[in-house]
């Protein structure tokens, strides 16, 4: 047997903690690419909305990609939900041959109802340190330890996360956030801004992302107060925090969540993009996808000192790093003069040359095939 004779199974079941139609990010990019070659099933977290028999809906997103949404009994306990999820998964997999399946985990919590199955290849794509997020379940840490034992291969979503996990698995590889360059390049030649943003006049500073416990509201408040002539545009859903807790002002514009397809049009109207994350446990290991997306759009970026933004973007001079409002103001004022824009753009484009979700997908697939080959060789010996 040689590695050229090994290939991936034809079915992939992804256990996701994020809904498919939420913010379009790492899981959506990667699973869409896998669906070009495999049958991909995204198992979302449950909705507790039925007063009858629990059931699983199947929604076809596009060729070979299906979203499975469990509908569980309303008002049940966590233990009862685990039993219902296990039953639904048993029904879904039925009598399939698991030698033709990949199990891909984004959340260790899914082990509670899937640990009795063993697929041909088990992948843990550790995109975030979920245990550090607000309202994380208490058992998450122990379930992650179990998943690290069960997984055949582990991917991490950034360098700092890889440093924290690298000694916990013998087959672990770092794959930082990537980009759909062609999509975000559209921002450079967009003819007009969306109506809700076009109505905002003046210097525009923007942010795209989930507004939650990672968002530094006090930084944004101070920035808006000190530069009332700068317009701050915030795109994204507000999650796990009260909208009332966010700063308000004439130059603060919460435009809500936007579809992935129109993001370049919004970016086209920005003078500077921001990554205003608080420095706390929930941001210690994050690798923001928006960093390379902003660069691909041709927009200058100022970020708080997030480890995976400092390295490599800050160290390479592609992004300015600032710890407070005064630092943001200094960096933004420099960018508004834009005296070095041409050389920055060339350097930025060169850095992004070999970075795309397709590149990431191909390299991940290569690691997976190698791992499956090693498993087959071991079983054959």
Q: What is the pLDDT of residues 36-70, one digit of tens each?
A: 999 999 999 999 999 999 999 999 998 899 999 99
Point out the least confidently predicted range of 37-46, 116-125, 172-181, 242-251: 172-181
Confidence of residue 380 (pLDDT cuts 50, 70, 90): confident
| Residue 194: Cβ-neighbour burial (10 angstroms; 0-12, 13-18, 19+) | middle
Q: Taking 60 as the threshold, does the pLDDT of residue 249 lie above it?
A: yes
Q: Taking 60 as the threshold, does the pLDDT of residue 5 lie above it?
A: no
- pLDDT of amino acid 377: 87
Q: What is the pTM of this model?
A: 0.86
Spell out the domains of the chain, with CATH numbers in brackets: 3-178+357-380 (3.40.50.2000), 181-352 (3.40.50.2000)
Q: Taking 90 as the threshold, does the pLDDT of residue 141 lie above it?
A: no
Q: pLDDT tens-digit profile of 266-300?
A: 999 999 999 999 998 888 888 898 999 999 999 99
Most confident of 22-26, 251-255, 372-376: 251-255
The distance in angstroms from the start CA to the end CA of the chain is 11
Stretch 180-200: mean pLDDT, rounded? 95
Q: Taking 90 as the threshold, does the pLDDT of residue 352 lie above it?
A: yes
Stretch 296-315: mean pLDDT, rounded? 96
Token output for 315: 């160290």
- pLDDT of amino acid 129: 77
Q: Taking 70 as the threshold, does the pLDDT of residue 81 lie above it?
A: yes
**Mean pLDDT over each residue of the chain, to the nearest integer:** 93
- pLDDT of amino acid 134: 65
């Amino acid at each position: 047997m040689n590695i050229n004779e090994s290939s991936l199974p034809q079915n992939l079941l992804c256990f996701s903690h994020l809904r498919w139609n939420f913010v379009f990010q790492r899981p959506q990019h990667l699973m869409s690419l896998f669906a070009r070659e495999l049958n991909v099933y995204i198992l979302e977290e449950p909705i507790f909305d039925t007063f009858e028999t629990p059931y699983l809906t199947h929604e076809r997103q596009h060729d070979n990609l299906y979203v499975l949404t469990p509908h569980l009994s309303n008002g049940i306990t966590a233990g009862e939900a685990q039993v219902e999820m296990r039953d639904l998964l048993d029904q879904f997999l039925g009598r399939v041959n698991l030698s033709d399946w990949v199990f891909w985990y984004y959340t260790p919590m899914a082990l509670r109802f899937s640990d009795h199955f063993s697929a041909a290849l088990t992948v843990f794509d550790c995109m975030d340190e979920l245990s550090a997020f607000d309202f994380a379940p208490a058992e998450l840490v122990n379930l992650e330890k179990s998943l690290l034992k069960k997984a055949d291969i582990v991917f991490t979503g950034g360098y700092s996360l890889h440093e924290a996990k690298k000694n916990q698995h013998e087959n672990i590889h770092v794959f930082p956030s990537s980009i759909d360059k062609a999509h975000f390049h559209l921002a450079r030649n967009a003819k007009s801004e969306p109506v809700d943003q076009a109505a905002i006049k003046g210097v525009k500073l923007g942010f795209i992302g989930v507004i939650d416990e990672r968002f530094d509201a006090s930084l944004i408040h101070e920035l808006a107060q000190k530069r009332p002539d700068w317009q701050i545009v915030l795109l994204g859903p507000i999650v796990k925090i009260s909208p009332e807790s966010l700063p308000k002002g004439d130059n603060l514009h919460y435009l809500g969540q936007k579809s992935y397809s129109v993001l370049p049009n919004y970016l086209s109207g920005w003078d500077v993009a921001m990554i205003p994350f608080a420095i706390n446990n929930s941001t210690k290991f994050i690798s923001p996808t928006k960093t390379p997306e902003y660069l691909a759009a041709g927009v200058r970026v100022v970020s708080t000192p997030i480890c995976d933004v400092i390295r490599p973007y800050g160290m390479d001079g592609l992004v300015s790093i600032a710890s407070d409002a005064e630092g943001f103001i200094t960096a933004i004022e420099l960018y508004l003069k834009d005296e070095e824009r041409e050389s920055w753009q060339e350097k930025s484009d060169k850095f992004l040359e070999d970075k795309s979700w397709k590149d990431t997908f191909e390299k991940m697939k290569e690691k997976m095939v190698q791992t499956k080959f090693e498993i087959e060789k071991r079983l054959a010996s």
